[in-house]
A and B are shown apart, each in its own frame.
Chain A
Amino acid sequence: MENSVKSSSGYSLARTFLYAFAQSSPIIFSYLVVGFAFGIMMQEAGYTPLHVLLSGLFIYSGSLQIAMVPLIVAHTPLIVMVFAAFIINSRYMFYGIGYTERFKRQGILYPYMIFAFPDEVYCVFSANSYPHYVDPVKCDLWTAIMCHMSWVSGGLLGVFLGDVISFDMSGIDFAATGLFVCICVNQWREFKSHIPMYIGLVSAFICLFIFGADNFMLPALSLSLVILVVLKERTKRAMDRGTETDKNPEEVILHE
């Protein structure tokens, strides 16, 4: 982040754009595909391109939008929708942690950065450290905009072309899972300590076992956060030193 204090003259606009595009490209691909699936679902349920456009622009959350379609079809009461939306998306409340300073540098677009922050964008932002020639403020913004627009475009393509394309698309949403797996692999390579990953894995399985598939997300993230705070000194030392202390994950839990 030292880049931010440098004067903007040291940056190349063209290379910043190319860098933003390159780091967004797996997301753009997966958003076009999953957005397309959402567009088809809405079209088949009898809703208009305007519904799809507004969802993509203002909800911008794949998991909620796809879960929302059968709930709309079933005419779920609006008050129930408030709770459903909260439960499905509660994980987002963890994403902003550590991003206030970075997003504030966007000035007037600070609120946009807070809004345009779904799982996949969180992935790239958490993984990168920009090269010296890249303007980090512009790169963040362009990445956010490109991803958002590809999500909206995917939905619109789906709702307009859903009729034309007749082959069975089921399973295409695996693209989102694939993206998360790729980011996990990248982080595994880049993180100096793997303690945070072990904590995430163990928390996920414990909460999956206790709370079940539909409700484990919020407890799992909370548990990860608590363990990370409890093991702060230890993890921090490992992250700084870069020497992996291969602690058994079960042991970590016992200590907690």
Chain B
Amino acid sequence: MNDQIYAFAVIGICAVVTIMIRALPFLVFGSKKLPDTVDYLGKVLPGAIMIVLVVYCLRGISLTSAPYGAPELISVFLCAILQLILKNSIPSIAVSTAVYMMLIRTVF
């Protein structure tokens, strides 16, 4: 298969699989009145999922070899502190990203 056409096919597959995954909970719970437990999960699940997402973003770091994930952990910590103080995500994200990019180039 032509390389460019093949890439379009992959994009199509990724799009279809992704929309099917996204639609699944709506197909399961969409037609009937929400059970009490689903309503409850809608409220509490985001709290759990968000932490899992942060761990997901950091899954590539190695704690057993240098630099022991230090640039990532320092930047995450900095971002959390900034957000606690400033309560505004844009400077928190911008500064921690800039610091991260600097750390991986210079210190580590």
Contact = CB atoms under 8 A, between A and B. Distances in A.
Contact of A178 (B23, B51, B92, B105): B92
Interface in B27-67: 29-30, 34, 37-60
A175 B54 CA distance: 12
A191 interface: yes
Contacts of A205: 55
Interface string B7-25: 1111111110111011111
Interface in A183-238: 183-187, 191, 194-197, 199-201, 203-205, 208, 213-214, 216-217, 220-221, 224-225, 228-229, 232, 235-236
B79 to A, nearest CB: 5
Interface residues of A, number: 94
A89 B52 CA distance: 14
A180 B26 contact: no
Interface stretch (A80-88, A143-151, A157-165): A80-88
Given A64-B18, A184-B80, 14 more contacts: A61-B18, A78-B10, A85-B13, A97-B41, A98-B45, A172-B97, A178-B89, A181-B80, A182-B79, A216-B55, A216-B56, A224-B48, A224-B52, A232-B40
Interface of B: 3-4, 6-15, 17-19, 21-26, 29-30, 34, 37-60, 72, 75-76, 79-80, 83-84, 89-90, 92-94, 96-97, 100-101, 104-105
Interface of A: 25-26, 29-30, 33, 46-48, 51, 54-55, 58-61, 64-65, 68, 71-72, 75-76, 78, 81-82, 85-86, 89-101, 103-104, 114-115, 117, 119, 122-123, 126-127, 168, 170-172, 174-187, 191, 194-197, 199-201, 203-205, 208, 213-214, 216-217, 220-221, 224-225, 228-229, 232, 235-236, 239
